[in-house]
Amino acid sequence: METDTGGAPSRILALRILLDYQQRDVFVGSLLSSALEGSGLDRRDKALVTGLVQGTVRMKLTLDWVLKQFSNRPLESLDPGVIWALRLSAFQLMFMSVPGYAAVDMAATATAEVVGQHAVGFVNAVMRAFSRSYEKIAFPDREEDPAGYLETRYSHPRWVVEMWIRELSFEKAEAICEADNVEPLLSLRANLPRVSRDDLAASLASKGIDVSAGEITPECLKVKGTGPVGDLEEFRGGLFAVQDEGSQLVAHQVGPDPGMKVLDLCAAPGGKANHLAELMGNVGSVVAVDANPARLALVSEAAERLGNTIVSTMEMDARRASAWLDASFERVLLDAPCTGLGTLARRPDARWRKKPEDVDRLVELQSQLLAEAAKVVAPHGLLVYSTCTISHRENAGVVAAFMENVPGFGAEPATLRGCEVMPHLQLFPDTDRCDGMFMAVMRRLH
């Protein structure tokens, strides 16, 4: 349960952002950044707006399930501003320490300002009824309708929870859903060639930032209360990058040595490419490939800030890598495009952007990319396949098909907390407290 101390301006801005999110269909993170920059709100109120917007979007399905019990009109028939005003107010009642009367009053104020006075009466009536009885609303029975229970109780798309129940078990699916609804701490990757993790932690702590060491990688720090990361002198000075701890583990599976020639396919925005360079002590070569020139530029920008001089970029469709590159890379990383179902805790709107048919499309693309990546691995070199999703077909299924159809590769162990894991590694947000990353390591045998 979160504590709330903000006032009307924060709610009004939050409602404007939520309405903008629906009308423009853009990522919540980018909307928040642009709206807060010129808002004039202080740091605490900016944090409140962020929590309100992200939480309301994250819990949208649960909020709608409960709200529909108190509306005499179908929710889908309501004006978008009205439904978002109801969701925003319901979120504060269900998931924040806001008294019922205050939530109703603030709903009226925000609705009048953003939607219009004509909508206030309806919003007031729904929220008064909601505040009196929302705790009595039951979710579908977990025994009779397990997918319906997870869908409505934890605000996840039904197709996702059905897949996780089928592939992992109901209990594991529920644990993942619950973890997805807890906002994670921000993960930083200390740039070890420039600073030790302990020294970076001490520097950040001296600024009043809550800092703790990661549990999976030796570079990771978990932080809270940083404010805009770009404002920190440690960031501007290239002492760290922002990268989820699960994602940090990928470069360790690649395991490059100084002096090696390394290829990172689908590399933008460059977190893994730059981590590889740091693990190599900035000695050797890291070639970062991506088809998107704007995103590829981010790789170079990060390399310059971090001082990674061995990172170079190539604009290219990775499905044609062998047409431009020969089989001379001792390490090849393919961090493939995926459904991103392992990132739902960090990306509140990601759960609503993917469809079941995306899995079919992405499996085909992932298989093409992996087969092409194999063509540029040097003899006895390593090929690492990774995604940030929890989906058997995109992960173990793609690797199994590759091993069956592409000769000359053998499975190698991945490592987690000093232990070897075969034949591949899947992290989960509930047990590993990071993104749900998948990693498979394969060696070219000749």
Show the domains of the chain with their CATH numbers: 8-136 (1.10.940.10), 146-180 (no CATH), 186-242 (3.30.70.1170), 245-444 (3.40.50.150)
pLDDT of residue 43: 79
Would you please indicate which residues are annotated as catalytic (active-site) residues? 388
Q: What is the pLDDT of residue 444?
A: 98
CA dist 16 and 259 (Å) reads 52
Sorted by sequence, the CB contacts under 8 Å of residue 42 that are 6+ apart come out as none
Using CA atoms, how far apart are residues 343 and 388, in angstroms rounded to an integer?
A: 7
Q: How far apart, in whole angstroms, are the C-alpha atoms of residue 432 and residue 437?
A: 10
The backbone torsions φ and ψ at residue 68, rounded to the nearest 5 degrees and listed phi first, read -65, -20
| pLDDT number for residue 12 | 95
pTM: 0.95
Is the bond into 146 cis (omega within 30 degrees of 0)?
Answer: no
For residues 127-155, average pLDDT:
97
Does the pLDDT at position 6 exceed 60? Answer: no
How does pLDDT run across 156-190, given as a tens digit for each residue?
999 999 999 999 999 999 999 999 999 999 999 99
CB < 8 Å & 24+ apart, contacts of 72-79 = 73/122, 79/115, 79/119
Rounded Cα distance between 369 and 265, Å, is 9
CB burial of 393-422 (b: ≥16 within 10 Å; e: otherwise) equals: bbbbebbebbeeebeebeebebbbeeeeee
In this predicted structure, the answer to whether residue 253 has a pLDDT above a threshold of 60 is yes
Q: What is the pLDDT of residues 211-231, one digit of tens each?
A: 999 999 999 999 998 878 988
Closest to 217 measured CA to CA, from 154, 159, 275: 275
Q: Which band of pLDDT confidence, cut at 50, 70 and 90, is reported for residue 81?
A: very high
Mean of pLDDT values over 346-357: 96
- Convert the pLDDT of each residue in 311-342 to its tens digit: 999 999 999 999 999 999 999 999 999 999 99
> Would you give the DSSP letter of residue 2?
B
**Alpha-carbon distance 59 to 236, whole Å?**
35
**CA-closest candidate to residue 411, choices 424, 428, 398, 395:** 424
Contact 29, 123 (CB under 8 A): no
pLDDT category, 3, cuts 50, 70, 90? very low
